[in-house]
Amino acid sequence: MEKGPLRVVMMGTGGFVEPTFHALLESRHTVVGLVTQPDRVVGQERGSTRQAKQGMKEMAVARNLPVLQPENIKSPEALAAVLELKPEILVVAAYGQILSRDLLAAVPMGGINVHGSLLPKYRGAAPVAWAIYQGETQTGVTIIRMSAQLDAGDMLAQESIDIGPEETAGELEARLAPLGARLALQTLEAMLSGTIHGQKQDQSLVTKAPKLTKEHGIIDWTRPAPMVCNQVRAMQPWPTAYTCWHRSSGEPMRLILYRTRGHIESEETPAPGTVMDRPGLWIAAAPATAVEILELQPSGKRRMGTTDFLRGNRVLPGDRFGPVPQ
């Protein structure tokens, strides 16, 4: 194959992909089309990878590029539509569907995937969130050669970054996105020059990063405080971490937690989920740990600092925080 520009089809949805798409559009390569998820109504299916803000689609339309939005990329119609664009390589990031062997085999150079983790750790739809949830202090981007298995291809490039101690999943993803764009372009050039060789993933180190659901945001106060705080950061911007204040008087109140701080206590704490008797808003977690809530959002209200919340709500020591009633 000629060592010159490649005909590229971009496949992806959402903010993590946009820097890679933009970099490809500005590169020497020719982007011949975009494959992205079907549109959805904003506010519905928040956990899905369907196209919501139309960012990727708008970028493609502005360049007069064909946009494909198949419900099932493995259907014969979707396969034919992609191949009609005559791509030489597919560049995929956060697309949300697994590509078929037939599609990968029909494209001369197959596909590369821009994945937001240090593979083989955190294979799946939500690698950034799960890295924070599990308390990782480093993550990164891995470029892999596409295979028919989820995130299982040979690694072509990888670069790591530190995770900030208070960084949310949304903030971390925004930092990883331009790194992914740079590595993707470098990988394309290295593939053309023949200077890149794939590295097999160590199967013994594989961990999963499944798609997030609303249930992943429910706080379990029997876990240690550092884990609760990791969950709060990991679930932003969606589905957010939440709990319920079971008031001594009045109906239970659902609370979304945005900023928390974990503390190791010097002595035994009350039962997990119990409001502690100290200034501010402290909730007992697993034995000898406590979570200080710094910023939250009551149901139907605005996001606010704890001081503002306590000014209008009488939270008493001994009140319980726990699951939202069904």
Q: How far is CA 303 from CA 168, 178, 248, 277, in A?
A: 16, 29, 23, 24
pLDDT of residue 286: 93
The two domains 7-205 and 214-322 share their CATH topology (first three levels equal): no
In the chain, % of residues over pLDDT 90: 87
User: Which two three-digit tokens encode residue 86?
Assistant: 């005559």
pLDDT of residue 55: 84
Instruction: List the domain boundaries for the chain.
Output: 7-205, 214-322
| pLDDT higher than 60, residue 54 | no
Burial zone of 82 (CB within 10 Å; 0-12 exposed, 13-18 middle, 19+ buried)? buried
Interatomic CA distance for residues 100 and 78, integer angstroms: 11
pLDDT of residue 52: 44
In the structure, what pLDDT confidence band is assigned to residue 218 with cuts at 50, 70 and 90?
very high
| pLDDT higher than 50, residue 1 | no
pTM: 0.93
Q: Which CATH architecture has domain 7-205?
A: 3-Layer(aba) Sandwich (3.40)
pLDDT of residue 152: 93
Interatomic CA distance for residues 30 and 10, integer angstroms: 10
Name the residue with tokens 């010097």.
266
Least reliable range by pLDDT among 36-50, 169-183, 255-269: 36-50
What is the per-residue pLDDT across 96-142, written as a single tens digit (0 to 9) for each?
Answer: 899 999 999 999 999 999 999 999 999 999 999 999 999 999 999 99
User: Which two three-digit tokens encode residue 248?
Assistant: 């001594």
Show the DSSP H helices in 3-118 as ranges: 18-26, 55-62, 76-83, 101-106
Domain 214-322: homologous superfamily in CATH? Formyl transferase, C-terminal domain (3.10.25.10)
pLDDT of residue 42: 54
Q: Which of 15, 322, 9 is nearest to 176 (CA)?
A: 15
Interatomic CA distance for residues 122 and 210, integer angstroms: 8
What is the per-residue pLDDT across 12-42, written as a single tens digit (0 to 9) for each?
Answer: 999 999 999 999 999 999 999 999 999 876 5
Interatomic CA distance for residues 195 and 189, integer angstroms: 9
pLDDT of residue 148: 83
User: Which two three-digit tokens encode residue 63?
Assistant: 């360049």
In the structure, what pLDDT confidence band is assigned to residue 205 with cuts at 50, 70 and 90?
very high
Question: Side chain identity at 66, as an amino acid letter?
Answer: P
Q: Which of 140, 142, 141, 138 is nearest to 164 (CA)?
A: 138
